[in-house]
Structure formats: structure tokens, C-alpha cells
A and B are shown apart, each in its own frame.
Chain A
Amino acid sequence: MADFISRISVVCFAASYAVGLAFEATRLWFRSGVRGVTMVGFVTAGLLAHTLYLVWRAATVTALPLSSAFDWYLLAAWLLAAGSLWMTLSNPRTPVGLFVLPVVLGLIGAAELSSREPFPQSPATQTWGAIHGSFNLLMSVAVVLGGLAGGMWLIQAGRLARKQAPLQGFRMPSLEKMSLWASRMTVVAAWAGGSGFLSGMILNAVNRQRGLLEIVPWNDPVVLRMGALVTWLVAAAVISRLLSHRPEGRRVTALLSLVSLVMLTASILWGVLGPTQHGMPPRQPAVAAPLAGGAA
């Protein structure tokens, strides 16, 4: 069994998701009685392989489980793939996969371009590191879901404004549902983003105080882009809240959510391709060599 799991690769589940997406895309051209089942089958198979792969990674890496940039992106992709499958099963006529699976594949692609080395850790900062990573993960998933909901709101609103009947096999969720998702995810993203940034600052402060690991400077590109993103998310949540009782409030929330998704995408691309000290091992041996000693 362990041998079987160890042979699962990123290509296995990425290919399953890609085939699932291809089946979902055929909704636009023709109807089929078996397409839905086939699409769900491929996504389920992909999710199963994805799960086993993450379990295997968590079990075989000696550091804190799933603590590399590579694992972080794969975990975000897993959450979105699971959410996509759940939404497809509960709303079979809505082409959820058409919107979510490209993001899942994009995150898997980002994972492939990222380092598989665990972030440097010491027992003293492991908890803050985990909190920091978890909040950022929650923020990213919330931004993606909110952005997709906002995008779908705009497509649906455009169709309703043009007074067109829904396309065959392409029935979008109602404006009410998408609006609710977009506004809720905007709030969740702002809270999670703020908490992630704050926990990152604490993590950095602990490292600085104890001289444990590499300090991330304030002008580090990752700090700057995350700071900008979090500031935007908080502003978007506030604007969305202030306009919630105005007729144009829902459209503004949808647009803000979509812009947040664009900013997150740009931020990820920058993070994958640009230079940073964030999450890097120390350039010189740490003072107390905590990892080797096993205790701080």
C-alpha cells in the first residue's frame, strides 16, 4: 500500500482535474447524459490521489507536516478541489468546476514552481509559523471563492440585464447566492489576511528576539505585496459593508471580490517568480543551532 501511495505524483491528480475540467467545458457545446458522472468521477479520482499524496508528504517529511511552499499551494488546491466537488454534487446544473478547477490547476502549477524544502523552523516558532501559514491559506481560499462568486455574479447580472434566457447547460447560480458568497468571503479574507499578517509579524519578532532564524526585513517583496493585499482586503470589506444597503452595493462587492482575486493571482506569481528572504533558511548558521540540538 505504501509503495502504491509513494508512486502517486502531482501529474496524476493534475491530469485527473484537467480531464474533469475538459468534460465540464463541453457543457458549452452539447448535452450528454454521462458527462456529469464522468466529470465527477475524474475529479473524485483526482481528489483521492491528491489526498493520498498530501498524507504521504505529511508522513515522510521530517519537519512540521506540509510546511513548504510546495505543500502550501497543494493544500490550497486540495481545499478548492474538495469545495468544487461538493458544490458540483449539490448543484449539478451549475458549472462550478469550470470556474474553480482552473484555479486548482493554477495552484498546482505554482506548487511545481515552488520550493519543496520545508520553511526553516525551530520549536520556539513552530506554532506561530503554523498559525501564520494557516491564516494565509484561509485568506487565499476565501479570496478565490469570493472572487469566483463575484465573477459569476457579474456574468449572471450581464445576462439578466441583456434579458437573455440562460444558456443550455450553463445555468449560473442566482445573484442572491453569489452576492452572499462574495460578501461573506470578503469579510473572511480580510480577517484571515489581517490575522496572517499579524502572526507573521509576531513570528518575525520572535525570531529577531531569540536570534533563531533569518529575519524577514520590512522591505522584503513578500512583506510588501502581502501588506498591500491585506490592506486592499480590509478596505474592500469596509467598502462592501458601507454600501451594503445601497442599490449598487452588490455590484460593487462583486467587483471588489474579483479585483481581490486578481491581486492574489499577481501576488502568487510575484512570489513564485520573484526574489525574497521570506521562508528562506539562514544565510549563516543560527546562534544556538536549535534544530540540530533539538531544543531551544
Chain B
Amino acid sequence: MSLTFAGGSHHTVPIELRERLAFSAEQAADALDRFRREFPGNEAVLLSTCNRVELYAAAEQRQGPPPPDELAMFLAECRGVELAAVSSVLAGDRGPAAVKHLFSVAAGLDSMVLGEPQIVAQVKQAWQLAVASGTTGPLTGELFQAALRAAKRVASETALGRERLSIPSVAVADFAAGVFERFDDKRVLLVGAGKMAAETLRYLRDAGARDVRVVNRTAGRATELATRLGATAGRYDDLAAELVAADLIVSTTGATEPVVTLAAFAQIEAQRQGRPLVVLDLAVPRDFDPAIGERPGVWLYSVDDLGQACEANRRRRQREMPAAWTIIDEETRRFMGDLHHRSTVPVIEQLRAGWNETGEAELDRLFRKLPDLDEAAREEIRQAFSRYAAKMLHPPLASLRNESHAGPPHGLLDALRRLFDLKD
């Protein structure tokens, strides 16, 4: 009863090779089908994302699943990649190390963006695909359930996945949402069509923004962008009026001079009637004069401001790593303890069955000798025998359980088999 894995990730496998090794859902299903034929009696789950390809295998039999190098060869063959090209970059492990690796992957500790939450969904999808392909079993079932539990603990007990790392997400969630309670009654103005505009708008839409205007020096580009983003296009000549109506501005033009100067803003400031204004100036060079941010009721953030907040978040994530690894270690120990305990189940069942059988035989003999016993007395005697058996079996079973925490209790199991004449 053991586990192995083999594969590679962004840590060791260059992107060109990762692309060649990556499995689509159909290819993964075919590979699992082939695995079932080539390694009957083994369980397998294939995890393939843009940053990693890993095959996890498990077997209940004594000889165990295929070793990591055989799994790596299997992966290479499935994708038609020559083994020589991948042998130095694919790696693997077995037993507790394999378990710990999967738990750390599921918790995002092995991800390119530390603590990213998407990996949990990808691990779930890999498991579901393996279930559909019929390559799962009790061992991989418990392994992946435990992996998801470890990931959940890391997410809830540490702040690893909570700090946002992209500029648009920080801009919306940490700053714009600090000013506004809701966005469905706010006017959002996109000035320019820079690459971060669409992504920022996506976060604003998620936060509830509905009323979005797009202005651009090139009217056609504004119309095209507005159509693509489900917004309405405005005229660049009406920028002053748009500034008056806006509550939140995302500016991403390629202009070399400020698009809105302090003097221009001062002219429209009174018309805004004191409404707060959030400006996310994501352009380089900046579109808004930084002095506008000093005006009361204006919250102006440049790419540098947001970048610093992102960096601070990244450092905070890094500080959570020791706590996250402690959880992974705890969950690995717990899982391995359970796994080792599982291997003792057949011996325990045989032991109990043997004691019960002997007890029943002795009871029958006793009841034949004492035919005058009523049913209540017989029941009392039965229960006494049962309690006696349970008490006698408790010490060896407790020893087995304790030994299981440290590793497979092969010595104790052999001793029990020999002492009580149990079959292997």
C-alpha cells in the first residue's frame, strides 16, 4: 500500500517543454485509459496545468505502484516526447514525500504566483477526470480529499491567498472599494484604451459596476472598445463633462503629457458638488497631474502607488509561508498515519474474528452444560465474554495504532500473525 508521483513544473521544466508535455482533457483521459491497461490494479490521477504535469499513482498491493522513473517514462511516451529530453527535468518521489508534494501543490505553495487559488480547482478537475476514467480507488480518493482539506486549511488559517497581487485587482479591491460601498450606482470612465483598462474593468464589473463610459482620442477606437466591453462611447472633446459625471476614472492613454492638469480639474471641481472621485491612473507617463490627488475628495493612485501596494502584499504572502508549511506537515503526518493504520485493518479483522469465533464456541459449550439458564442470564454472559474479548484485544490494537503514526508497523503485524496464527 504506497504512493508515488512523477512530473515536472515551472521550477524545472522550461516552457517549451511544458507545452509539449501538457495534456488536454481528452489526451489526459486517453493517458489514464492507457495507464489502466498497462498497470492493472493501480490507481492514478493526472494533473496537467499550464505550469505543471504530474502523474500520481497508488496501489494497495504489496509490490506498490510503478516507481517514479517508470511514471516519467509513461508521461513522455503518452505525449510523444523523447525520454532523453525530459529525463533530466522530470522528477518524482514516493511515500510521505509524494503526499507532501501534492498537498503543497494543492495549497498553492508550489505555484508560480504563491498561494494562487486556481490550483485548487485544477486539482479537483484532475481528480474528477480520473474518476470518470475509472483509475481512482480508495487510496487516491483519500489522498486527494486530504489534499483539498490541506489546501482549505492553508487558505483559511493563513493569509496566503488573501493578498492581491495584480495592479488592477489591488486598484479595485483595496482602494476603489475602500472609498465606495457599491459600484452599481457609480459612473465609471475609461480614458484611453491601454492594456490594463479591460482587466481593471473586469474587476469593476465583478464589483457591480454597470454604467461605463469610454473616451479615446480616436473615436473609432473608443466605439470599438465600448462595444467589446459592453460600455457606451463618449466624445474625447467632452472630456471635461465626462470628468464631472464620473465617480471612478481608469486612465490608460499613451499620451506623453498629462491629459488632465490641475488647472483643468480646478475648472470642473465645483460642478462635481463635492462627490468623491477615485482616479486609477494606470498610464506611464501619468495622465493626471499628481497635484490633483491633493484636492479634497479626490483619491488618485498611479501605477507606482498600486505597484508598491502589490509588492507589500507579496511580502506579506511570503511571511505566511512558515505557517502554511506547518499545516502541510501536520496534514501529511495525519494522512500517513491513517494510511499506515489502514494496512493493519486486515490483521485486526482477522484477530477479532478469531476471538469472536472462539468465544462463540465456548459460549455454546457453556450453555449446553447449563440448560436451565434463562435468556437474560445468557445475554449477560454473552456481554461479559464480549467485554472480556474487547479488553484483551485493546492493548495490541492500541500498540498497532500508535506504531502506525511513525510508519508502517510491519514488525508488529508479523508478530501478531505468528502469535495468533493469522493468515497473510
Contact = CB atoms under 8 A, between A and B. Distances in A.
Interface string A153-188: 000100111011110110011111100100000000
Question: DSSP class of A's interface residues: helix, strand, loop or mixed?
Answer: loop
Interface string B162-185: 111000001000110111111000
Given A168-B316, A245-B273, A163 B178 contact: no
Contacts of A156: 178
Interface stretch (A100-108, A110-118, A246-254): A246-254
A31 interface: yes
Interface residues of B, number: 33
A249 B178 CA distance: 18
A10 B297 CA distance: 45
| Highest count of chain B CB atoms <10 Å: which of A156, A174, A244 | A174
Nearest to A252: B296
Contacts of B316: 168
B157 A33 contact: yes
A-B pairs with the 8 shortest C-beta distances?
Answer: A247-B297, A247-B296, A248-B296, A165-B309, A176-B181, A174-B181, A163-B305, A177-B181
Contacts of B181: 173-174, 176-177, 180
Contact of B178 (A33, A174, A247, A251): A174
Given A31-B157, A32-B157, A168-B162, A174 B180 contact: yes
Nearest to A180: B181
Interface in B132-173: 156-159, 162-164, 170
Given A33-B156, A172-B178, A160 B299 contact: yes
Contacts, number: 72
A168 B164 CA distance: 11
B178 A175 contact: yes
Nearest to A168: B159
Interface of B: 156-159, 162-164, 170, 174-175, 177-182, 269, 272-274, 276, 295-299, 301, 305, 308-309, 312-313, 316
Given A156-B178, A176-B180, A165 B299 contact: no
A166 B157 CA distance: 18
Contacts of B180: 174-176
Contacts of B170: 165
A247 B157 contact: no
Interface of A: 31-33, 156, 159-161, 163-166, 168-169, 172-177, 180, 243-251
A165 B174 contact: yes
A165 B309 CA distance: 6
Contacts of A250: 274, 276, 297
B309 A163 contact: yes
Nearest to B313: A165
Given A32-B157, A33-B156, A165 B163 contact: yes
B179 A174 contact: yes
A247 B276 CA distance: 7
A177 B178 CA distance: 10
Given A174-B180, A175-B178, 16 more contacts: A31-B158, A31-B159, A156-B178, A160-B178, A160-B299, A163-B308, A164-B309, A164-B312, A165-B163, A165-B309, A165-B313, A168-B316, A247-B269, A247-B272, A248-B296, A250-B276
A246 B274 contact: yes
